[in-house]
């Protein structure tokens, strides 16, 4: 429960795990890797902001939206694993940013998820990453992210 304690110290809490919006499952484990599908900045069913980054959504709002995506990933991982402390390493994060024409700060948006993961896991939270702009995202969400983590065997 160390990770959840750190979240609480940051003033953050895990939301309810988001439900898939189409025909897929939230997480798949293959060996010691867990692949978590794309999530949006929907906290307990409510979008925290909507629109294109660089137009309706500021860089600061998009950074917070990416952090909200991280919280959703952690909620899915807790439901899948039972305990976030089983996560040994954050392996990879992919971030899609619904970008207005001319917006080219996708890595700064992606830091919203990356910074939280590093704050929680330290060096084990440092990961590979892809941050890219998208012309459109489902439901006009500003950010969608996915994650791969390495986990310890069940005790």
Structure confidence by residue, pLDDT tens digits, 37-89: 999 999 999 999 999 999 999 999 999 999 999 999 999 999 999 999 999 99
**Cα(15)–Cα(145) distance, rounded to whole angstroms?**
16
Tokens for 120?
A: 């929680």
- Alpha-carbon Rg for the chain, nearest whole angstrom, is 15
Distances (CA, A) of 37 to 44, 70, 94, 128: 17, 12, 10, 16
For residue 36, give the nearest of 17, 50, 13 by alpha carbon. 17
Dihedral angle computed from the Cα positions of residues 81, 137, 45 and 12, in that order, rounded to the nearest 10 degrees: 60
- The pTM of this model reads 0.96
CB 114 within 8 A of CB 93: yes
2-151: CATH, from 3.40.640.10, 3.90.230.10, 3.30.1330.40, 3.40.50.970? 3.30.1330.40
Of all residues in the chain, the percent with pLDDT exceeding 70 is 99
| 155 has a pLDDT exceeding 80 | no
Strand, coil or helix: what is 48?
coil
pLDDT digits (tens, 9 = 90+) for 94-121: 999 999 999 999 999 999 999 999 999 9
Q: Which helix (H) or strand (E) holds 106?
A: helix 106-121
């Amino acid at each position: 429960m160390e990770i959840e304690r750190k979240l609480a110290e940051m003033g953050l809490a895990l939301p309810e795990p988001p439900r898939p919006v189409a025909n897929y499952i939230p997480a798949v484990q293959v060996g010691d890797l867990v692949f978590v599908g794309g999530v949006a900045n929907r906290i307990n069913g409510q979008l925290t902001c909507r629109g294109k980054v660089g137009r309706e959504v500021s860089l600061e709002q998009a950074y917070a939206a990416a952090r909200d995506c991280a919280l959703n990933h952690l909620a899915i991982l807790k439901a899948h694993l039972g305990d976030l402390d089983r996560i040994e390493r954050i392996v990879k994060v992919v971030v899609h940013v619904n970008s207005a024409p001319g917006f080219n700060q996708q890595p700064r948006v992606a830091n919203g998820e990356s910074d939280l993961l590093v704050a929680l896991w330290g060096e084990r939270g440092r990961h590979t990453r892809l941050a890219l702009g998208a012309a459109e995202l489902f439901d006009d969400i500003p950010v969608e992210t996915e994650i791969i983590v390495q986990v310890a065997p069940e005790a």
